[in-house]
């Protein structure tokens, strides 16, 4: 899915992330808290997600507030990751400047662990709690179908059809 964040000043940023869970509480993904996305979400916890299925002519947009998952959930998921990915989470300073590929490989070699690899404190789960969903379906006429579900303050979803 594409994850869009913004700086406190409103400068946008978008990147692809893996959806790891979807439930009534929201949508879950994992990353470094100190990455660009992590820093932007710490300063401005509003974000948007986009799922696009071109062959099906459909997309879904989701908007909401993002929060950290509890440490126990991040620990449990981290333990299921391949060992190389666990060690890589320790070696990478995601989104920071890197001198060379060799420097990254040196950091990786220095990050080896005996036994289980602990989750870095700077890595964990994020939960996007939806406040709006938009469903789009392609039509050859370009008069696409669009429906927006928006959460009203009392907790009910308001549904409206949008112009294409």
Give the per-residue pLDDT at 112.
82
Average pLDDT, the chain: 96
Catalytic-labelled residue, pool 101, 107, 142, 158 = 142
Give the per-residue pLDDT at 44.
97
Domain ranges within the chain, ordered by starting residue:
2-162
| Exposure b/e, 100-123, CB count within 10 A at least 16 = b | eeeeeeebeeebeeeeebebbebb
Distances (CA, A) of 112 to 65, 77, 98: 36, 20, 20
pLDDT digit string, tens, across residues 31-73: 999 999 999 999 999 999 999 999 999 999 999 999 999 999 9
Average pLDDT over residues 2-10: 96
Neighbours of 13 (CB within 10 A): 13
pLDDT of residue 94 exceeding 90: no
Beta-bridge mates of residue 136 = 59, 146
Give the per-residue pLDDT at 154.
83
pLDDT of residue 164 exceeding 90: yes
CATH architecture of 2-162: Roll (2.30)
Let me know if 93 is a catalytic residue. Answer: no
- CA-CA distance, 163 to 7, in Å (whole number)? 30
């Amino acid at each position: 899915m594409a994850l869009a964040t913004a700086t406190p000043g409103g400068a946008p940023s978008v990147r692809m992330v893996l959806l790891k869970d979807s439930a009534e509480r929201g949508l879950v993904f994992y990353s470094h808290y100190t990455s660009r996305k992590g820093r932007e979400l710490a300063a401005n916890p509003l974000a948007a997600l986009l799922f696009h299925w071109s062959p099906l002519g459909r997309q879904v947009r989701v908007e909401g507030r993002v929060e950290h998952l509890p440490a126990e959930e991040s620990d449990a998921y981290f333990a299921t990751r391949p060992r190389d990915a666990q060690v890589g989470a320790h070696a990478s300073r995601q989104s920071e400047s890197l001198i060379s590929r060799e420097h990254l490989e040196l950091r990786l070699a220095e990050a080896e662990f005996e036994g289980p690899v602990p989750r870095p404190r700077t890595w964990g789960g994020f939960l996007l709690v939806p406040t709006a969903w938009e469903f789009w379906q392609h039509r050859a006429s370009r008069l696409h179908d669009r429906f927006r579900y928006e959460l009203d303050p009392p907790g009910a979803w308001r549904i409206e059809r949008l112009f294409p």
